[in-house]
Amino acid sequence: MYLKDTDKISRGSCINTHLSISKLVCLSLLGSLFYSCLSHPMEENTRFGKRIIGGQSVTDDSYGFMGILKINKLSDGWFLCGATLINNSTLITAAHCVSTPKYNIPTKQLIIGLGSPNIAKQIEVKPLKVTIHPQWSFSTLENDIAVIKIPPIKISKKIWPINLATYGIAQDTNVVALGWGKLSNNDDNLSENLQKVGLVTGNPELCSALKPNKKRNSKSLLCTINSKSLRKDTCLGDSGGPLITDNGNSGKQFIGITSFGTNSTGFGNNECGLKSGYGFYTKVSYYFDFIYNSL
């Protein structure tokens, strides 16, 4: 389903391209340093934010809903996240992309790029408003979702919204993650071209047991299991981007927002694509009310 501003629904990492990645992924925002991986209650092996590992470059307009979120005029350069267009004036991203543990990032510091899988060829749009989920928590990563409003843009072959999935996602479903992340664990440079990677969803009970804060509402999350798609993963840098299904006649469906990752073994190891790794995504269908109320 597409979401129009007038529709009623029946019933929601940023990485500096000049910074190296430490175990805690230190980000410098507006000159004030904070840790995007908190030592408590998060476990040491949790990766906050994501990048594409083992993916393929996108060279056509088959993902016209994909936007890049640029956080501008920061003391140490640009921070980048993904964002997903759901109508001609609304995008969805992760809450941790547009906030810090102490304050929300001003809207004037944000720029949206749309219209091309190549960053240099995109048009840039200034957001009008950002609404972060009121129960978003940096300490638990609960409710990691935000809605970005932009001036209405013309829908075209290059820019178009994606449907929001209205169905549940079963275990072992083939899904696709998108982002402008690095191509390997040994290179911290971001990709200039959009990357896509095929992943497989995991068992909800198992994923719930592995997430950093086991008291979190497991119904609000989706997870993918690296062991079913070896050396493929999202990792540091692709936060806020979409997890989608593509079921032929029913088209592409927006099901999740890239949030964080973890490993069941190898504590302190922030490598992506490990066999023991899991990716976690905010489940879009769980937040229909929040999205609708933020249009």
Q: What is the CATH number of the domain that holds 76?
A: 2.40.10.120
250 inside domain = yes
Pairing of strands 146-149, 163-164: unpaired
3 inside domain = no
Judge whether 64 and 29 are in contact, CB under 8 Å. Answer: no
For 249, the domain range is 15-293
DSSP state of 15: E
Taking the CB of residue 6, how many other CB atoms lie within 10 A of it?
Answer: 6
Judge whether 261 and 50 are in contact, CB under 8 Å. Answer: yes
pLDDT of residue 3: 53
Q: How confident is residue 12, by pLDDT bands cut at 50, 70 and 90?
A: very low
Compare 266 and 151 and report the one with higher pLDDT: 151
Cα 166 to Cα 292: distance, rounded to the nearest angstrom: 14
Mean pLDDT of 72-80: 67
169 inside domain = yes
Mean pLDDT of 94-98: 94
The gap from C-alpha 244 to its chain's centroid, in whole angstroms, comes to: 11
102 inside domain = yes
pLDDT one-digit tens code per residue, 16-31: 332 222 222 222 222 2
169 contacts: CB under 8 Å, gap ≥ 6: 175, 201, 222, 245, 255, 283
133 inside domain = yes
For tokens 């000049």, what's the residue? 18
159 inside domain = yes
Judge whether 136 and 98 are in contact, CB under 8 Å. Answer: no
2 inside domain = no
pLDDT of residue 283: 94
pLDDT averaged over every residue in the chain: 74
Secondary structure of 213-233 in the HEC alphabet?
A: CCCCCHHHEEEEEHHHCCCCE
Token pair in block for residue 97: 């992309």
Mean pLDDT of 59-83: 84
Q: What is the pTM of this model?
A: 0.79
pLDDT of residue 49: 41
DSSP state of 258: E
10 inside domain = no
Q: How confident is residue 166, by pLDDT bands cut at 50, 70 and 90?
A: confident
What is the enclosing helix (H) or strand (E) of 291?
Answer: helix 288-293
Total tally of structural domains belonging to the chain: 1
Mean pLDDT of 106-130: 96
